[in-house]
Structure 1
C-alpha cells in the first residue's frame, strides 16, 4: 500500500515536473511572444513615428499676400489653389499689408507662408529699417517669383514728369516700414530728397489710385508686378503717367542697393503709357517659417514650380525653377533647397 502511495506520489511529482517544464517552455515561447510583442511595440513605436510624421503635415496653411489692388493677392489666390490641389493641404491666401507686416506675422507664428520683397526680408534678417532691434531668425526662403516694379504713378494731367517734380506734392509712399515706403526713401535719396520734401500719405494701392482719381493726392509709389490691378483701375478713368527714373539715378540706386535691378514698363501697359518707362525693380519671393518640415516644404515648392504653367496671371510666366533661385539673400528652407537641387538649378 505504502509502495502504491509512493508510486502515485512519484507520478504526481513527475507530472508536476513536466508541468513546470512546460511552463518553462511556455516562458521561452512567451519570450518569443514578448519578442513579437516587442515587435508589436516596435511596430507601435514605428506607428507612433508615422503618426508623428503625419502630425507634421498640417491640415491647413495660411499664405499671406498683399492688398487686393496689388499683384500678390490675385497671384497668391491661384498659388494657394495649386498647393491645395497638389499637396492635399488646404491653403488660403488672405489679403494683408504686404511685405514688412507679412514677415512679422511669420515671425510671430500667425501664418506659415507669405509673399515678401527680397529687400524687405534682407532687412528683417539684418534687423534694420522696420526691423531695427528685432532681427527675424525663423523665416527661410522658398524661392523668387517675379520682378516687382517700382512705379511712381500719377496722371498725364498732373504736370508731374520727374521725381524732382514730386517736391511739395501729396504723395502716397505706403505704410512706414513697408517695402514700398523703403523703396520711396531710397529713390528720394538718389535725388538728394527725403520724405520731408513731400507731403507723405500712407495709403494702400487701391486708396492711392483712388486718391489720385479723386484729386486728393498727386502721385503714389506702387511697388508691384505690372500690370497692377489698382493702376489699371485708374487707367479706366484717366490717362496714367508713370514717372521715369533717369539712367544715372538707376545706376546709383543699384550700386548702393544691389538687390535692385533695372526694369522697364513697356508702352501700352496702362492707358496713357505710349512709350517705355525706365525704372527699378526688386524681386517678389515666397517665404516660409522654419516650423514646417522639409517634406512639407518640398511638396509645396514642387507644387508651385512644377505647375506654374497653369497660372493664368501674367506673372506666372516668370515663375520657373531657374528664376526661383535668383536674388535670394537668405537661406533656403531645406525642403525648397532639395527641390531646386533635384531640378539641377542649385548646387
Structure 2
C-alpha cells in the first residue's frame, strides 16, 4: 500500500468517525451536558513521507467524538471529546520548534533531532526546554541514495560529489553533515527545499541522505525506475558516527525492502511523538493508553509498514527528552518504568 493511499484511507476513516458522531446526535463535546471538545494537533511531515499517514491513522484511532460506538469500549479511544488532527509540516526540526513554542500541540520527530533541540545544538539556537516525550514509535533508517550511473559505492566515494544535505535549518541537514564529518569526507554541499528525487532525475545532484521508516515511497520509485540505488553507511565511519550521536545505532535495511536492492548496512534512530510540558496530564495519559490499546494496533499498522513496530516494549526506552508526566504515569502502571522514572 502506498503512503498516499494509506493517508487517504486514514483520512476517510476519520471523516466517517466524525460524521458518525453527528448522525447519531453527538455534538463533538459542544453540548452543555457533555465533555468539552478538545482539539489536539499532530505536526507530521510532507504527504510523501512516513509521518503523515501514520499521523492520520493515529488521529483517527485516538479521537473520541461523542456518539461513536467503537469508543464505548474502555481505553480504545482517548479522553471523551478529544479530536486529533494531523497536519503537514517541513519536518522534524520545524515540528519541534512549533511544539516548544506552543504553536502546535504535538508532533513527530527523529530521536537525534530531539536530542539536538533539547541541547540547543545544530540548527537550534537555544535549548528547547518545553519538549516532552509521549512515546517512541518506530525505527527510522538512514538512506544514502546515489545516482544509479555513478561510481559511488560508499560514503567515502562522495568526496567532491554534489550531495543534497536537505532544506536550510532542517534536522536532515545537520544529520547529513554529521555523517560526512564522521567519515571525514568533504563534498559539494547543496542546501535546498527542492525535491531530492526530482533533482536526481534532472541530474542536479549525485546523492542525498534521508532518514525514514522503511520503505519510503519516494526512494522506492527512484530505484524501481533505475534512477538511483542505495549505498551503505558502514565501517569505521559508522562507528565514529554512533559515538558522536548517541541516538543512532547500527541497523540494516533488509533485502527486498526496495526494488533491485539487497541488505544495506546503515544507522537508525527512532521516531517519537512529542508534546509540550503544559499539556494536561490526564489528556496525555488517556491518549497514550489509547495508542497502546491492542485493539488499535492492526489499523495503525496498516498506515505504513514501519507502524507495525509501534509497541509498548520500546515506547519509553531511552527518550531523548523527558517523558510527559501523563505518559510516564501510564508506563509505570504497565511496569515499564520504576517509581521515580519519568
Q: Decide: shared fold, TM above 0.5.
A: yes
Distance 2:334 2:168 in 1: 39
Distance 1:143 1:266, change over 3 A: same
**1:114 deviation in Å?**
0.2
Q: Does 2:297 align with 1:308?
A: yes
Whole-angstrom distance in 2 between the partners of 1:265 and 1:346: 30
1:286 aligns with 2:254: no
Answer whether contact 1:156 1:272 (CA < 8 A) is retained.
no
Q: Which residue in the other structure is 2:215 paired with?
A: 227
* In 1: Cα distance, 2:132 partner to 2:233 partner: 32
**Among 257, 262, 277, the residue aligned to 2:245:** 257
Gaps of 5+ in 2: 1-31, 65-76
Cα distance in structure 1, aligned partners of 2:185 and 2:224: 32
Match for residue 333 of structure 2 among 332, 335, 342: 342
CA distance in 2 between counterparts of 1:226 and 1:303 reads 25
Q: CA deviation at 1:244?
A: 0.5
- How much does 1:198 deviate? 1.8
1:240–1:270 contact (8 Å) kept in structure 2: no
Mapped partners of 1:185, 1:119: distance in 2 = 13
- 3-state SS, counterpart of residue 136 of structure 2: strand
The answer as to 2:60 corresponding to 1:81 is: yes
Q: Normalising by structure 1, what TM-score?
A: 0.78
Number of the residue aligned with 1:25: none
TM-aligned CA deviation for residue 203 of structure 1: 3.4
8 Å Cα contact 2:183/2:238 also seen in 1 = no
1:248 paired residue among 216, 236, 240: 236
CA distance in 2, matches of 1:229, 1:179: 20
Contact 1:154 1:220 in 2 (8 A): yes
Mapped contact 2:223–2:229 kept (Cα < 8 A): no
**Take 1:218 and 1:201, find their aligned partners in 2: how far apart are those partners?**
13
Once residues 193 and 176 of structure 1 are traced to their aligned partners in structure 2, the CA distance between those partners, rounded to angstroms, is 20
Q: Is the Cα–Cα contact under 8 Å of residues 40 and 106 in structure 2 kept in the other structure?
A: yes
Do the aligned partners of 1:150 and 1:183 also contact (CA within 8 Å) in 2?
no
Structure 1 ranges of 4+ moved more than 4 A: none
Q: 5 Å matches for 1:271-282?
A: 271-273=259-261, 275-282=262-269
- The unaligned stretches of length 5 or more in structure 1 are 1-50
1:116 matched to 2:103? The reply is no
Question: Alignment partner of 1:137: what SS?
Answer: coil
Q: 1:39 maps to which residue?
A: none
Specify the structure having the higher radius of gyration (Cα): 1
Matching residue of 1:70: 49
Count of residue correspondences: 288
In structure 2, the partner of 1:3 is none
* Native 8 Å contact 1:170 1:219 kept in 2: yes
Alignment RMSD, CA only?
Answer: 1.9
Name which of 218, 227, 236 aligns with 2:206: 218
More helix by share: 1
Q: What is the distance in 1 between the residues matched to 2:178 and 2:267?
A: 11
What TM-score, normalized by structure 2, do the two folds share? 0.79
1:170 to 146, 152, 162: 162
CA deviations 1:241-267 (Å, max 9, x no partner) are 111122222222112222111010111
Matched with 1:329 is 320
